[in-house]
Chains A and B, each alone.
Chain A
Amino acid sequence: MELRTAVKRLAITLSAGLSVLALTTTPASAGHDGFCDYAIEDGNVCLYRDANFSGGMLDFTRSDRNYTSAADVFFVYPSEPGTVNVNDQVSSIVNYEGYCEWWFYTDAEYGGVGFKMLNINQSYNGLGSYNDALSSHYKWTGWTECTNGSTG
């Protein structure tokens, strides 16, 4: 058996043992499902624990006023929620929303200081002074909250 094939099969076997297989070919459009989905008006913003989009990820479709909720944990494997809460732990961001913009805050309830991420800003591989500091975000159309998402 070729080495890379063996490596792949090993990875797949380990994944199966951990119940982290992601075999489906169906769309994953909701937030908090471990997949960072692009859409024009219903896309995700995806928060990564480490810089350069690694270390675990959590995807959101809508606003989140407090990252300390029990559902706000990084996915380490596809479809497998981890145990680390995202509050004050985010170090890089991917924006897969094509219409609305995202506003990020250092405190819950959209408080403290923050920055916005427009729909033309697809990713930040590091957050500078906001590293490990974010605690809430708001999805904004430019005049009202962007609530077209389904969950998350």
Chain B
Amino acid sequence: MRTPLKKAATAMALAAAAFTAQFVSAAPASAHPGADGYCGYREVCVYRLANYIDMWADFFNADNDFSDDNLWFWDGVTYVRGSEMADNRASSVQNFDTGCSAILWQLKEAGGINQVVYPSAALPNLANQGFDNKASSLSWSC
């Protein structure tokens, strides 16, 4: 089970996403505990460049602040935590959860504008959505 609902974030998502009924969760501000560089089932992964390449960060829970979340890379043997942070660096995104929408927010703590990534959805170039290098936090809608 993911982290509990947060009313403020829920209200913002409801206002922002036409035709959708959003119930948004947000985690306490901390580096996401599930991060290991491995983009697996039920996670959302944000990538530094378009078309899901270069470095990335994987999230299982909501995350209120990307500024303490390292981007990862594959060194040919294992996943390595890089020194660059995910904040304002995401250019593409894949949602590996089949039942929950991931919601990327422009500002930390689910602030600013948002970009919904529907279950099983992928956005290869966030510039197409006017959201390139903007993501700073993450919530979920299930």
**Chain A residues packing against B (C-beta within 8 Å):** 2, 4-5, 7-8, 11-12, 14-15, 20-23, 25-29, 34-40, 46, 48, 52-57, 59, 75-78, 94, 96, 98, 121-125
By the criterion CB–CB under 8 Å, are B118 and A94 in contact? yes
Q: How far is the CA of A44 from the CA of B105 in the complex (A)?
A: 24
Instruction: Please name 11 further chain A to chain B contacts, defined as beta carbons within 8 Å, in addition to the given A23-B40, A35-B94, A46-B120, sorted by A numbering.
Output: A14-B41, A22-B96, A35-B122, A38-B128, A54-B98, A57-B98, A57-B119, A75-B98, A77-B98, A123-B19, A123-B116
By the criterion CB–CB under 8 Å, are B41 and A15 in contact? yes
Asked, given contacts A4-B61, A38-B122, whether A52 binds B20 with beta carbons under 8 Å apart, the answer is yes
Chain A residues near B42: list those with CB within 8 A: 8, 11
A interface, over-half SS: mixed
Count of chain A to chain B residue pairs whose CB atoms are closer than 8 Å in the complex:
112
Tell me how far the C-beta of A14 lies from the nearest C-beta in chain B, rounded to whole angstroms.
Answer: 8
By the criterion CB–CB under 8 Å, are B21 and A25 in contact? no
Chain B residues near A27: list those with CB within 8 A: 51-52, 122, 124
What sequence of 0s and 1s flags, for each residue 39-78 of chain B, a beta carbon within 8 Å of any chain A beta carbon? 1111101010001110010001100000000000000000
Asked, given contacts A57-B98, A98-B128, whether A22 binds B122 with beta carbons under 8 Å apart, the answer is no
**Interface-centre pick from A14, A15, A38 (highest chain B CB count, 10 A):** A38
Chain A residues near B121: list those with CB within 8 A: 35-38, 46, 94, 96
Chain B residues near A35: list those with CB within 8 A: 94, 120-122
Chain B residues near A20: list those with CB within 8 A: 41
